[in-house]
Amino acid sequence: MSFAREMERKGAKTQRRKGLLSFLGVCAVVLSLGFLLVAAGPQLEPKVPEPRVELDPDRVPKTKTHGNVLIQGGTVLPVSGPRRERTDVLVRDGKIAAIGKDLEAPEGVARIDARGRFVVPGAIDCHSHIARIFRALAGGTTSAHLLHGSGNPIGGQDAVIKLRWGKRASELVFQGAPQGIKFALGENPTRQQGFPQTRMGMAATYRREFTEARAYARSLREHEEKRARGEESVPPRRDLRLEAVANVLSGKIRVHCHCYREDEILAFLQVCEEFGVKGVIFQHILEGYKIADELRRAGASCSTFSDWWAYKVEAFDAVPGNAAILTRAGVLTSINSDSHELIRHLFLEAAKCVRYGDLTEEEALALVTVNAARQLGIEGRSGTIEVGKDADLAIWNGHPLSSYSHPILTLVDGEVFFERAEGERGTEGERGLPDPRTFAIPADPGPAPEPPSNDRGLYAIVGARVEPVSSAPLARATVVVRDGKISLVGADARVPAGATVIDGKGLTVTPGFIEAGSWIGLVEISALKVTRDASDSGEFQPDLVALTGVFPPSEHVKVARAAGITLGLATPSGGLVPGQASVIRLDGWTPEEMKVRERAALVVEFPSRPGAPPEGGARPKKHDRLELLEKLFDKAKEDLERRERARGTDATIPPDTRLEAMAPYLRGELPVLLHAEDARTILDALQFAERRKLKPAILGGRDSWKVATLLAERRVPVLLGPVLDYPWSKEEPYDAGYSCAAELARAGVQVAIRSGGSQMTGPRNLPFEAAMAASYGLGRERALAAITKVPAEILGLSKERGTIEPGKVADLVVSLGDPLEPTSRIRYVFIDGKPVSLESKQTRLEAQARARIDANKRIR
């Protein structure tokens, strides 16, 4: 296949260059850092950071097994059955040979001490378009399903691969995996030029193609029958396209069908029924929950996202309970990535289905292991830990469904292909992380309770674990809320008469989470221009204020609120100076009711110089945009000075709302958020701010770990994120984004974490962003502070918000379990001392779908 030949060519070339790259890579980093420091100007005088790169030789595991290894004393989660404590797994010739206690291995067989570790099947990604093999291995993924794109109703054929990093392409192919093919429904194929451009046309396209393929297969069959009878027959002209589709009709090739909406799915199922096509695996299928019974009856299976939604119109009805609803309805379901980043944390994606769908440990793990294996037809060899199966395994430092855990070893066919070095950032002995042995999924609490009401605004949460953030956690304490403020906190706090009491037994109370920079309230469907109010035209629009564009009924606000986010920094984007960010509370009928601070910060999209890594794959911005930014600020400063000189005189200066809006930022009274990602741009931004005596903060800061010492010296805070993001270059350490917050904190930088408001998920994953940083060195205490106390400090809100202290605004999250864990449940959210509804469009749709399934069961 062309894919294999190309991968093989690249693989062989990489092998030849490894040694040279190791030397040249380190030299390049040292030279580039030196260039950055010179470019930054002499007044900065930073210390040179240690160069840290990750080249192919650095990625070679130290542990070698040659497919024979005894993994000793781990907690084995086989997925095919209950967990097994202090259990050994013996691997011979790449296969699991035995599972049990105190196993013996022949002399010379490698041994891995897994005591205190968790041994699980490697994750299987059922939908991918990439082969970022090493970084996927680092997340515990061992196999992937590579698919054609979705721009055609019928695309190309697929490949299932094992992530044998460093091997040739021909050695990656999962031998014996059934052949599949990519079909596609919905917006992706219909927005292309030519026919079809409607869902009607899509259905007709499949009928036409299936009809033609059936006729082609009949002509081949008739030709063979004539030959068998000894008759002369001219064979039909071979048609590779129809041959493949005919193999779909006969069941030799499995259909993997990209789709979203229920109507198009049902229409396709009808066509399949007409032509006898069975066992379709629907990919993405974000509205599958609406037709779970129909999918089950058709024998279809589903591979979906955990919580992506609203990035285009056909994804607006997506719900995070999709996978769980399908699973409980009897539909074989898996979670996939379709992303070079999500493939690195598939177990986190599975864990979310515990929060949103109350799945069990085994059901959640199956979503990214055995269920995907069944869909790909490789369940006889992969997906569970059983004797006779391939030893595709991941060894974790904690439970794989815990956000504080990460893989330390990943094996394919019993050989180690990823190994996290002892003493590496966030590996072992990291202080401030929960003991992995104490991890437990909270029992299903049932439906979320109705928010309690009290006309006097008087509430008491009694007997809960309270984490003030400003001080040590209280194991069993009471929080009293009166008139929107925290009145009392403590183990001996008395409940006032007339208070509405919430039993806090088994619950945890933390400050409300603060999303420190996203499009929250400004964008509803990212692909639909009329719903995007975050970006306007023009390079210099400092008088634009985000609050003006906030849409109070936004479903994103409700969804984020249900995740414990109580405040958001709504940030405009677009030109060089796109406007002013606003702090909003995630509750209110009007923008005015949501307002906390209308003009909280000025946003500057700091331009990258030519040669700097492009953000998001875009082309580098031209150097003249940096010159333009300088001129715009010069003009604004001149205008400010002119107005100040004219004060108290008869001079008249024409009004200019844009220039006047710059005044508090030029005086250093309010922060200027310099959106910069790569190290060179961050240094340029710091020099710019220093020269103009601004009050800067770095927004984004993906490479900020490279200049952490300088940021600490200049006391410049960082609103970091997203943390769950892929490294920019192939030489970046695989965990650069995950460990960035820890490195900043160690250097003394004030760091807050933001989600960035991903167009795929919105800001609701903020607590999981913080937890990933905790896992990779930040520690839980600092991680919680990074989404509560620290952003409040950076945004000038710390006197009123960010911690649980008497006198502060009662923005609170009450959860069953640790709220940074994806397996926990949010039970109550208080904003300004008032319990708010956790209902959203998503919860209503999920309830309707479950009710429909229940009604169908009663009918049956």
- DSSP of 611-672, one letter per residue? TSPPGGGPPPPPHHHHHHHHHHHHHHHHHHHHHHHHTTSS------HHHHHTHHHHTTSS-E
Compute how many other C-beta atoms are within 10 angstroms of the C-beta atom of residue 44.
16
Q: How far apart are CA 240 and CA 242, in angstroms?
A: 6
Q: Percent of the chain beyond pLDDT 70?
A: 91
Which sign does the torsion angle of CA 555, 738, 324, 268 carry?
Answer: positive
Compute how many other C-beta atoms are within 10 angstroms of the C-beta atom of residue 849.
23
Q: How far apart are CA 632 and CA 639, in angstroms?
A: 11
Asked if 89 contacts 75 with a C-beta cutoff of 8 angstroms, the reply is no
Q: Which three-class secondary structure state does DSSP give residue 143?
A: strand
The mean pLDDT value for 195-212 works out to: 96
* Burial class, 719, CB count within 10 angstroms (exposed 0-12 / middle 13-18 / buried 19+): buried
Question: Which residues 6+ apart lie within 8 Å of 363 measured at CB?
Answer: 324, 327, 353
Radius of gyration of the chain (CA): 29
Q: Which three-class secondary structure state does DSSP give residue 540?
A: strand
Q: How far, in whole angstroms, is CA 372 from its chain's centroid?
A: 20
The mean pLDDT value for 349-375 works out to: 97
Q: Is the pLDDT of residue 268 over 50?
A: yes
**Tell me: the pLDDT tens digits for 298-332?**
999 999 999 999 999 999 999 999 999 999 999 99
For residue 422, the model assigns a pLDDT of 64
Tokens of 242: 């129809």
For residue 651, the model assigns a pLDDT of 76
**Tell me: the pLDDT tens digits for 51-91?**
578 999 999 999 999 999 999 999 999 999 999 999 999 99
> Between 21 and 390, whose confidence is greater?
390
Nearest to 823 by CA among 347, 319, 431: 347
Tokens 């290894």 -> residue: 69
Question: Which residues 6+ apart lie within 8 Å of 644 measured at CB?
Answer: none
**Tell me: the pLDDT tens digits for 610-647?**
654 544 455 444 568 999 999 999 999 999 999 888 88
For residue 18, the model assigns a pLDDT of 44
The mean pLDDT value for 111-134 works out to: 95
**Tell me: the pLDDT tens digits for 247-265?**
999 999 999 999 999 999 9
Compute how many other C-beta atoms are within 10 angstroms of the C-beta atom of residue 641.
11
For residue 549, the model assigns a pLDDT of 97
Lowest mean pLDDT among 36-50, 72-86, 111-125: 36-50
Tokens of 377: 């037809």
Asked if 393 contacts 119 with a C-beta cutoff of 8 angstroms, the reply is yes
Compute how many other C-beta atoms are within 10 angstroms of the C-beta atom of residue 390.
24
For residue 443, the model assigns a pLDDT of 85
835 φ/ψ angles, rounded to the nearest 5 degrees: -70, 130
Q: How far apart are CA 624 and CA 409, in angstroms?
A: 47
> Between 39 and 629, whose confidence is greater?
629
Measured CA distances, 492 to 479, 480, 803 (Å): 10, 11, 19
pLDDT band at 858 (very low <50, low <70, confident <90, very high): confident
Measured CA distances, 425 to 702, 746, 752 (Å): 17, 11, 19
Asked if 58 contacts 705 with a C-beta cutoff of 8 angstroms, the reply is no
Q: Is the pLDDT of residue 718 over 50?
A: yes
Q: Percent of the chain beyond pLDDT 90?
A: 84
Lowest mean pLDDT among 14-23, 56-65, 138-147, 734-743: 14-23
Mean pLDDT value across the chain: 91
* Predicted model pTM: 0.92
Tokens of 431: 């202080």
The mean pLDDT value for 789-813 works out to: 98
Give the 3-state DSSP-derived string for 145-165, with helices as H, strands as E and coil as C: EECCCCCCCEEEECEEEECCC
The mean pLDDT value for 774-782 works out to: 95
For residue 758, the model assigns a pLDDT of 67
**Tell me: the pLDDT tens digits for 533-584?**
999 999 999 999 999 999 999 999 999 999 999 999 999 999 999 999 999 9
Q: Is the pLDDT of residue 23 over 70?
A: no
**Tell me: the pLDDT tens digits for 445-502?**
777 677 788 999 999 999 999 999 999 999 999 999 999 999 999 999 999 999 999 9
Compute how many other C-beta atoms are within 10 angstroms of the C-beta atom of residue 611.
12
Asked if 796 contacts 802 with a C-beta cutoff of 8 angstroms, the reply is no
Q: Is the pLDDT of residue 30 over 50?
A: no
